[in-house]
């Protein structure tokens, strides 16, 4: 059950800028650093994410058609800044919250939303 596109546009212009101040430093927040598919421009998107071993699970509140998700999937990865550390996200894929690859914390908060899962590396 993805949130509305109107809310997504508001958050992209207003809320994300505020969350960007603490997202790279304060788990469960993280900052996804990705390149635009067409523009090649670098974007920084704050997300709610949980780490389970070498795997990162990110709740897709706005669904898998969100620009940042499409950018990460097209590039087959992105950089993730979490708890002040920069890591690389490899092999991202979109799965249901019930998938065994999804961490327990994200499974509880994701509700009926899909989840982006990928492997972390340095």
Domains of the chain: 5-121 (2.30.110.10)
- What does pTM read for this prediction? 0.83
* 65 Cβ contact partners less than 8 Å away, ≥ 6 residues apart: none
- 113 near 1, Cβ under 8 Å? yes
- 81 near 34, Cβ under 8 Å? no
- The pLDDT tens digits of the residues spanning 42-84 come to 999 999 899 988 999 999 988 898 899 999 999 999 999 999 9
Strands (E), the chain: 29-35, 42-52, 55-59, 77-82, 85-96, 114-121
Taking the C-alpha atoms of residue 110 and residue 87, their distance in angstroms, rounded to an integer, is 23
Residue 22's pLDDT band, with cuts at 50, 70 and 90, is confident
Q: Which of 25, 81, 24, 89 is nearest to 57 (CA)?
A: 89
């Amino acid at each position: 059950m993805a949130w509305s596109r109107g809310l997504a546009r508001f958050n992209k212009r207003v809320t994300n800028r505020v969350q960007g101040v603490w997202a790279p430093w304060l788990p469960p927040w993280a900052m996804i650093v990705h390149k635009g598919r067409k523009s090649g421009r670098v974007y920084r998107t704050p997300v709610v994410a949980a780490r389970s071993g070498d795997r990162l699970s990110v709740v897709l509140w706005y669904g898998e058609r969100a620009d940042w998700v499409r950018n990460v999937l097209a590039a087959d990865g992105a950089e993730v800044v979490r708890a002040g550390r920069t890591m690389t996200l490899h092999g991202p894929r979109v799965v249901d919250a019930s998938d065994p690859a999804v961490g327990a914390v994200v499974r509880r908060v994701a509700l009926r939303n899909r989840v982006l899962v990928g492997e972390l590396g340095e």
